A and B are shown apart, each in its own frame.
Chain A
Amino acid sequence: MDEADAVPPEEEPALIHGAVSGLSCGQLVVYPDRDLYVDMVGFLYDDGYRMCVDLTGVDYLFDLDRPLPAGVTPERFEVVVNLLSTETRQRIRLRVQSPEEDLTLPSIFLLHPGTEAMERETYDMFGIVFTGHPDLSRILMPDDWEGHPLRKDFGVGRIPVQFKGAPPAR
């Protein structure tokens, strides 16, 4: 693919700031621990990754045995953060494992204020709680919605409409 050629060849992926890294379709991916996550974003910020392009989540409920590099324990949820350096024109992706039992992750709002809405969306869709976020509330779904729609155990179709003031069933 022409896009892969545009990315300058990386040297053998190894530890990046103490976290396992790897290549996915030619793209650089880092797998920091949850405790290391905010520090890692800070280190990368100092490396020039000044823009947080995207932050989203994935629910791996049905794909728990996905391939991951050695040393990374697969958990049900993953938070995926795409960082961009406009100076070196490089991208890096962070995949942070978040266990189902304790679904919290520190917010990177202070470093990247642009993640405010994205973290809200991830909370809304997956129920991942970002501690330190200034206003963690639903953003796309109605405030009184129950459940988190993008979780794999949230069914599609045939759910009762939960909107306020909906007329009762006849």
Chain B
Amino acid sequence: MSDLISETAEGAQELQPKARTGGAEYMRELGSVLRIPNLPEGVEEVATDDDTMILNMGPQHPSTHGVLRVMLELQGETVLRSKPIIGYLHTGMEKTGEELTYLQGPTNVTRMDYVSPLFNELVFSLATEKLLDVEIPPRATWIRMLMCELNRMSSQFLWLATNGMDLGAVSMMIYGFRERESILAFFEKVTGLRMNHNYIRPGGVAADLPGGWRDDVLRLLEMFPERLDEYDTLLTGQPIWQERTQGVGILTTEECLALGVTGPLLRSTGLPWDLRKDEPYLYYDQLDFDVIVGTYGDSFDRYAIRLNEIRESMKMVRQILDQMPAGDYKVQDKKVTPPPRHRIDESMEALIHHFKIFTEGFRVPEGEVYVAVESPRGELGCYIVSDGSAKPYRMHIRGPSFVNLQALPHMVRGGLVADAVAAISSIDPIMGEVDR
């Protein structure tokens, strides 16, 4: 026993035998209780508390994509139970949304899923427009589709980058960010900002596409196919990559439906559920594209789905370029739309109108509505309750990351810790959306 007591600068410190520091001791710590329902009747406990160790992964762990903390119950290197612990990035955005007018709302929601901000703005705007019952001009809708598909590509590029980095393909990180950067440069030209654009607003979009936008998009479309083929060479056929991802984090269709999991995770199990196809919003029913599905529901399938969704998005962007009509980029309903800038200089009424819309906002009829769009991560829903005033009475965002993350314990059970990293990464959680 005496050799367990060592002298330190702060006096004698007793080292506990390992068995006594594990399991139960840790569980007594506040907040580190692994509160997971007990196993159902008839299922035998694999290990008792004494054999297992609780490991807290995160919230500062680099491969948890932000401030996600995962509690892992380990037996040796094998993960038994696990639990994602969230809330570290909670900033009360739903509460904030009740204090902002409908015109200010997109500035708030765009900060939720900061990797695909345009989808947040889109779903909020669609819900508001549904309550208002206004018809959006065709050009605004096509611009929205163009921007969203480009955003989907940039989001998937970012996922390829971070997923590559998590699994040791560090060069992928640089490539993925390089591609994303080129799309963000285009976004900056259109919206003025690289992220958190506040571009899609109730009633249309904030500004028309700038001159030369078509050439910019065509340049992107020329560049990417070659780069995607490079990724195929770098990752898809590479034995190490396949070893790290194939058979890791498997989900079945039944599990996905029970857990509410959507997006690439659901499609990787073989169910072709894509809201763009199944519940077409905007003008997605006028586009020709395929829904990419997987077979095994593992991390590799999700990688393949996301890679090929970039190709599908490029196909869609090409069609959008062909079909982009001329016309208004926002609805010409004076109740909703502020007057154009040049009118303010010449008309007192326009100035008052502009001031009214940006201070008071517009009133939205009483009602409640739930609208869903397919974000790169799954079904992004927005539930708005209006009491007839200029601010939403209740604004709730159904974040796909929040729901998908809850499938993590099912994905990592029985696997290795290193596979848990691959599984977390394959969910593609954006913590801003998980915690809101």
Contacts and interface: CB of A to CB of B under 8 A. Distances in A.
Given A3-B126, A25-B130, A137 B279 contact: no
B394 interface: yes
Contacts of A7: 279
A128 interface: no
Nearest to B283: A2
B282 to A, nearest CB: 7
Interface in B12-61: 30-31, 35-37
A65 to B, nearest CB: 10
Contacts of A118: 403
B99 A156 contact: yes
Nearest to B96: A156
Given A56-B396, A62-B387, A2 B280 contact: yes
Given A27-B370, A112-B260, A143-B31, A53 B398 contact: yes
B35 A6 contact: no
Interface in B373-414: 379, 381, 383, 385, 387, 393-394, 396, 398, 402-403, 405-406
A89 B383 contact: no
B31 to A, nearest CB: 6
B129 A1 contact: yes
B273 interface: yes
Given A54-B383, A112-B258, A117-B406, A3 B371 contact: yes
Contacts of A1: 129-130, 133, 135
Task: Name the interface size band of chain A.
Answer: 35 or more
A89 to B, nearest CB: 5
Contacts of B281: 2-3, 6
Interface string A25-54: 101000000000000000000000011111
Contacts of A116: 406
A25 B384 CA distance: 12
A125 B95 CA distance: 10
A150 B406 contact: no
B188 interface: no
B381 A86 contact: no
Interface in A62-81: 62-63, 66-67, 80
A3 B279 contact: yes
A60 B370 CA distance: 17
Contact of B94 (A25, A50, A53, A150): A150
Interface string A3-37: 11011000000000000000011010000000000
Contacts, number: 125
B366 interface: yes
Given A25-B369, A58-B385, A149 B95 contact: yes
Nearest to B89: A140
B423 interface: no
Nearest to B400: A53
Contacts of B372: 53
A133 B383 CA distance: 24
A66 B365 CA distance: 12
A100 interface: no
A25 to B, nearest CB: 4
A99 interface: no
B331 to A, nearest CB: 12
A84 B63 CA distance: 33
B323 to A, nearest CB: 15
Given A51-B258, A114-B261, A138-B87, 11 more contacts: A53-B398, A54-B398, A63-B387, A66-B387, A91-B370, A112-B260, A114-B260, A137-B35, A141-B87, A150-B94, A150-B394
Which 5 pairs show the lowest CB-CB distances between chains A and B? A114-B260, A134-B37, A114-B259, A54-B398, A140-B87
Interface of A: 1-4, 6-7, 24-25, 27, 50-54, 56, 58-59, 62-63, 66-67, 80, 82, 86, 89, 91, 93, 112-118, 121, 125, 134-135, 137-143, 149-150, 156
Interface of B: 30-31, 35-37, 86-87, 90, 92, 94-96, 99, 126, 129-131, 133, 135, 257-262, 271, 273, 278-283, 285, 366-372, 379, 381, 383, 385, 387, 393-394, 396, 398, 402-403, 405-406, 435-436
17 contacts: A1-B133, A3-B281, A24-B368, A51-B257, A52-B260, A53-B372, A63-B387, A67-B366, A82-B370, A82-B398, A86-B257, A86-B278, A112-B260, A113-B259, A117-B405, A134-B37, A156-B95
